[in-house]
Structure 1
Amino acid sequence: MRLALPDRFFDYLPWAAATLLVAGIVHIVSVLLMPTLAPRDAYARTLAAVGDAPTGLVALPPMAPDAEPLPFEDPAFAEGVCVYDLSKGMLRVTAPADGEDYLALSFHARGSRIYHAITDRAAIKGKIDIVIGDERQMDALQSASDEAPQQEVRLTAPSKRGFVLVRSLAKRPSDMARARERLASVICERVDPPKD
């Protein structure tokens, strides 16, 4: 004897499929919007760790459980941040690179997106030199230096505010003091745009 499926099952099948589809779409959209809508994003956590109006590079405290200013930090790195606001001028980041010690810089926009990253391997003549500005500032800098060869890496930031995360690797726990010294040699300074 063969059991037949009730006709009501087929009546509810399209509704069940539509409900699952809508629930899946809502889930995907909420996961994708969470970094933008989160009140404690990486930019807010960075400002909380370094204060409201920092100048230059600010070293982050050593990592401790449940006290990390930024997510997914590695205790083998000494870290520091440069918070910038391009409405006050461009930012120049310079750092010496010796080729033996790992140094990494990542550039974060206000919405916590990383828009550029660089390591000491990209240093020119033992020096990392990067200028960050908005589109208008970069156009003014380009027109002012058409004749002169470009000596630095120029980055156009997607938003006026953001931060630069600098990481210096300590190969062994005993090298942490040396990694912090390398971190202190990184200079973040405001640069006035060229006059027309």
Structure 2
Amino acid sequence: MRSLFYAVGVGLLGALVLHITVILATPVYTGADIYARVLDLGADGEFRPLPDKPVDGGLAVSGPFLKEAVCAFSVDDGPVNLTAEGSVPFWSAAIYDSRSNEIFSMSDRTAVRGTLDIIAGTEAQITALKNSGVNATENHILVTLPADDAYVVLRAVMPETSMAASTQAFLDSASCDGL
């Protein structure tokens, strides 16, 4: 009787582990992960605004008082400069790798002069920039990426509809171009 309970317990535990593994691995193998959805929005190197409501299971803005834009980029050809300027009550930016692990995040409260100005690259690229002797890194925040492909999510708070124009101008000024 004891071995029967042991066998049933091991079977249930194995089934639980198998089901959790399948559920967590499904987005990666179906191409429905967040990185694939970001790539579906458009070409690399350009910020794309997120719609207010999801279309066909796509991405959408995560809150009623937010405007968001995403940009997928690759540092295969060199570091990428992420910039945005404008007057909004609050903004934040978060960089994720292609597996949607957050690498770096910041807000206007921690930015130099309150503007988004990040140089993202591999460890070798960032080291080469620092050793170049040029003051190219003086006012930038340097972020080392663990992989070549990543994406950035830029969020701007729009607490009142009267701020829609300035919020949109901030998102329109955003760029994620190579150096």
- SS of the residue 1:189 aligns to: strand
Say whether residues 1:58 and 2:52 are aligned partners. no
Q: Is the 8 A contact 2:95 2:102 kept in 1?
A: yes
> How many positions carry a matched residue from both structures?
179
- Partner in structure 2 of residue 39 of structure 1: 31
Deviation at 1:108, TM superposition (A): 1.4
Say whether residues 1:87 and 2:76 are aligned partners. yes
Which of 11, 14, 17 is 1:22 aligned to? 14
Per the normalisation by structure 2, the TM-score is: 0.84
Q: Which amino acid counterpart does residue 82 of structure 1 have in structure 2?
A: C
Q: Is the 8 A contact 1:97 1:120 kept in 2?
A: no
Query: Is the alpha carbon distance of 1:101 and 1:20 closer, same or farther for their aligned partners in structure 2, counting shifts above 3 Å?
Result: same
Moved more, 31-40 or 136-145: 31-40
Q: Is the 8 A contact 1:77 1:169 kept in 2?
A: yes
Q: Which amino acid counterpart does residue 58 of structure 1 have in structure 2?
A: R
Q: Which amino acid counterpart does residue 171 of structure 2 have in structure 1?
A: L
- Partner in structure 1 of residue 139 of structure 2: 151
Inter-partner Cα distance in structure 1 for 2:101 and 2:27: 9
Deviation at 1:122, TM superposition (A): 1.0
Q: Is the 8 A contact 1:82 1:164 kept in 2?
A: yes
Q: Is the 8 A contact 1:104 1:168 kept in 2?
A: yes
- SS of the residue 1:87 aligns to: coil
Say whether residues 1:185 and 2:177 are aligned partners. no
1:88-167 matched pairs, under 5 angstroms: 88-96=77-85, 98=87, 101-145=89-133, 150-167=138-155
Inter-partner Cα distance in structure 1 for 2:163 and 2:139: 32
Structure number with greater Rg is: 1
RMSD: 2.6
Deviation at 1:97, TM superposition (A): 5.7
Per the normalisation by structure 1, the TM-score is: 0.78
Structure 1 unaligned regions, length at least 5: 1-8, 192-196
Q: Is the 8 A contact 2:45 2:175 kept in 1?
A: no
Structure 2 unaligned regions, length at least 5: none
Query: Is the alpha carbon distance of 1:67 and 1:74 closer, same or farther for their aligned partners in structure 2, counting shifts above 3 Å?
Result: farther
Inter-partner Cα distance in structure 1 for 2:18 and 2:144: 34
